[in-house]
A and B are shown apart, each in its own frame.
Chain A
């Protein structure tokens, strides 16, 4: 009798303990989704974001978690397959019930998960420079908007005395849209249309539907385009604005250098090459060419030094399988992912809840900001960030030397159609003649 009682008591205790631990466990963690391509063509870029996110979660967990709850990452692989992204997003929201998701790189993957997040009222933080023209109530864009990358770069080039702009890009939505915005912007700055290279195509009504030169992904032969740029730049004061993606940059820059074009005479400003891309690009062929991002690894600030140091030592000790430990760098999309997590944390703590609607309300208040490695970023009402923009020059070790910075640039997704074409400035010949007349 005693024995059975004992067994019963022990059993109850076990059950009680089990329920207790499980309930403690459940109360102590919050599930957070990571949705990036860990295989396929985009894996090279996106795995770095997975790495930095896991690092951020560890860092937050070490200092007590979010509202006392540990972050439990749910990592899923979008596999560079856009419909799969939507399926994985659905899984994160409906099966795993994650409080928030950090993810996506390409615009097409974001567009593919957008309806899923809107339907389930989820929360997604998107960290990679994009073309704008979108604002979902369920997505927060820590990414650079066109006004935080393309237009400051053009401002810089104009200040450097550049008068002719050649637009070149990979053939997909981000370059096409960015260049259309840039075309309007350049015209509004008084650059005559004849000085914008790459060609224009118009629809029947005469509206410009595409500006600039586009090459397919994986294009290898840039002879003709470089010859065109050479001709375009013959009269001096020209530059190239490039939204070429990924490894097509290699044949382009090899051809560019072979044709005798240099950063001195005709600099190329690229919006898709960050420090991380230089791990697979010959940096020595790009020395002196320009980049424009809201973060560079070379930023000299205590916050950045700490971030880089912590990330590098985390890489050395982490036991997550498949993380490349050698030759790692930090770059803008990584830092914007990092900032995204902290912004979400701050909002949750302010709202005292993980509820999406409450968190969104706090984020939209405009009071949530984070002192990150790239300077202070503040979430705006329109789901974009106010942040610093930096222009840098490529050095031969694949880093950027900062030439100019613009502080606290407002993130505006809807730029198309906001610039008014001003009448082109008169040619210099005209001005000089005046003293004779």
Chain B
């Protein structure tokens, strides 16, 4: 989110600059004077450089913001002109634009204008000061928040002046918070205590450390200390609630990831009884399909097929059209994995329905073959799948961060569960599937083409795994070993839920996810995993059939 804000900040600054180039007069100072002031600040080498940079903010010129942003990004360069004078310029794409006149020129021996940490801080503050007047409320809040945390009381009058004009409620809140933080250092105890109380009432998490510091400080009055303790207690209890809500959300999303990866297995292993060790590789097929679709939408890719380089041309899309690749990648990965699954079923598994142990070995062998195939075609390194903009970022509700990708995975899990449920209960194929799984012989006698149903069921289960893989590409690595890292989790989820029961898989996925996240928040990740796994072993000892054991009268079980 902040990154997006920064991008916006930069784009906005640029826009403003373009607009202001000839309009600086209207903003008070003539353009040439602003440019002169800028150059002076950049070339100043003494102790007062930070001051000069921050003073630039007062010009209110959009050009200043644009140049400062360029400077910070390392795009402000200096060139020695033939007469020895220093010529500052910025890079606009391939063009070099002189800072003193604003015209293009070709530099001779350019080098970057160096920054020290002090100058960078000053640039950052100046940009924040300029952003306080930005038309975008989100930018204003972010800038005000940052200025508040500098605790530099010099900004106080400016913020107070802003408070009078401000109408946006979000920005007003940020202003009150920033001003209160600054007032903590006020000489007047009354003001200080009022600020402490205000921050407590606002449940201001950023100021928690400051308030805690006040309690133990020797220079605070007893009244201020008592008030700070009260505020700290308020904020901490709020923080506990935030964390609890966050853990629930994270548990749900971790559970959804488990569900997405395990649902396909719940069908191939749970319903069909095939111990499919190649399930993880079906996910990898989905993830690699996503990668292919991404590159076809972008610049194309070269695959090495047994020593021959095959170039797949790309469509060279950009912007929203490119970003939409993921929407196409989802069905593509389902289809691809389903096709591979069907081929696998026709080629190998159908001969092994009566021999589960051999099917375990055969599918394990296939998983190794597929892994090596990925290595040959895509290389041993992980491939990069970028996150489209609508899946990166987050929104914040009461200080609980909800990542778009995490919200999406929850919705995604609900959607595929719903579709699976529809397919199994509302379609004739679903009826056949259930019939075949319950009693193959009887279904066959009733005229159901069991071979075909087997094939489609396995294809559907593999397709779901492919969907899982498409989604995992947004959360982690896409590489030849992708399947390996999720296969154990998938089997665990299905077995705990009760083999042959989809509802059980859903409950166990959400359950394991929540327990794991809760344990992670109280212990550490390694310990959390150990406790989760031990609990599962204990649970399975007590209830071998899982959460919802399937009761059946048939002897083949």
A residues near B (Cβ < 8 Å) are 43-44, 159-161, 171, 199, 213-216, 218-221, 223-225, 227-228, 230-231, 234-237, 247, 250-251, 254-255, 257-262, 264-265, 279-282, 284-285, 324, 401, 426-430, 432-437
Contacts and interface: CB of A to CB of B under 8 A. Distances in A.
A233 to B, nearest CB: 9
Nearest to A210: B524
A284 B392 CA distance: 13
A430 B475 contact: no
B475 A251 contact: yes
Given A171-B526, A231-B205, A247-B477, A429 B210 contact: yes
Given A428-B151, A436-B187, A161 B117 contact: yes
B82 to A, nearest CB: 24
Contacts of A257: 3, 392
A57 to B, nearest CB: 24
A432 B476 contact: no
Nearest to A433: B219
Interface stretch (B58-66, B89-97, B158-166, B399-407): B399-407
Interface in B443-486: 474-477, 479, 485
Contact of B525 (A225, A254, A281): A225
A75 B217 CA distance: 63
Contact of A262 (B3, B149, B205, B403): B3
25 contacts: A171-B526, A214-B526, A215-B524, A215-B525, A223-B250, A224-B250, A224-B525, A227-B401, A251-B476, A255-B403, A258-B403, A259-B394, A261-B2, A262-B2, A264-B6, A265-B2, A280-B381, A280-B479, A282-B385, A284-B386, A427-B210, A428-B213, A429-B213, A429-B214, A436-B187
B2 A223 contact: no
A262 B383 CA distance: 23
Nearest to B186: A436
Contact of B381 (A171, A259, A279): A279
A212 to B, nearest CB: 10
B101 interface: no
B401 A429 contact: no
B220 interface: yes
B393 A258 contact: yes
A223 B485 contact: no
Contacts of B254: 221, 223
A259 B403 contact: yes
Given A250-B477, A262-B3, A434-B219, A199 B524 contact: yes
Interface in B491-537: 516-517, 520-521, 524-526, 529
Given A235-B210, A258-B406, A44 B380 contact: yes
Interface residues of B, number: 68
Contact of A236 (B206, B382, B401): B206
Nearest to B145: A236
A394 to B, nearest CB: 13
Nearest to B239: A231
B149 A236 contact: yes
A260 B476 contact: no
Interface in B216-231: 216-220
A285 B246 CA distance: 24
Given A235-B149, A281-B384, A213 B394 contact: no
A216 B206 contact: no
A223 B529 CA distance: 14
A181 B378 CA distance: 40
B253 interface: yes
B74 interface: yes
Nearest to A247: B477
A215 to B, nearest CB: 5
A254 B149 CA distance: 27
Given A159-B117, A171-B526, A236-B149, 4 more contacts: A216-B529, A235-B209, A259-B403, A260-B3
Contact of B382 (A216, A218, A262, A280): A280
B268 interface: no
A224 B403 contact: no
Contacts of B310: none
A259 B246 CA distance: 12
A324 B380 CA distance: 11
Nearest to B189: A436
B134 interface: no
Contact of A223 (B74, B209, B217, B406): B406
A260 B401 contact: yes
Interface hub of B208, B217, B257, B396 (most chain A Cβ within 10 A): B217
B213 A427 contact: yes
A189 B400 CA distance: 34
A234 B210 contact: no
Contact of B387 (A43, A254, A432, A434): A254
B417 interface: no
Contacts of A224: 247, 250, 517, 520-521, 525
A44 B381 contact: yes
Contacts of B521: 224, 228
9 residue pairs, one from A and one from B, having the closest CB atoms: A436-B187, A260-B1, A427-B213, A433-B219, A258-B403, A432-B185, A236-B149, A280-B381, A251-B476
Contact of A251 (B151, B247, B477): B477
Nearest to A435: B187
A79 B485 CA distance: 20
Given A235-B206, A235-B208, A258-B393, A430 B219 contact: yes
Contacts of A234: 205-206, 208
B121 interface: yes
A265 B2 CA distance: 9
B184 A429 contact: yes
Interface string B188-215: 0000000000000000011111100110
Contacts of A161: 117, 121
B475 A260 contact: no
A214 B386 CA distance: 26
A327 to B, nearest CB: 9
A258 B405 contact: yes
B217 A250 contact: no
Contacts of B387: 254, 258, 285
A17 to B, nearest CB: 41
A221 B117 CA distance: 34
Nearest to A230: B401
A391 to B, nearest CB: 11
Contacts of A281: 382, 384
Interface string B163-183: 000000000000000000000
Nearest to A224: B520
Contacts of A260: 1-3, 393-394, 396, 401
B404 A258 contact: yes
A259 B249 CA distance: 13
A254 to B, nearest CB: 6
Nearest to B254: A221
A235 to B, nearest CB: 4
Nearest to A171: B526
A437 B393 CA distance: 46
Interface string B34-60: 000000000000000000000000000
B384 to A, nearest CB: 5
Most chain B CB neighbours (cut-off 10 Å) among A159, A219, A426, A433: A433
A437 to B, nearest CB: 6
B382 A219 contact: no
B249 to A, nearest CB: 9
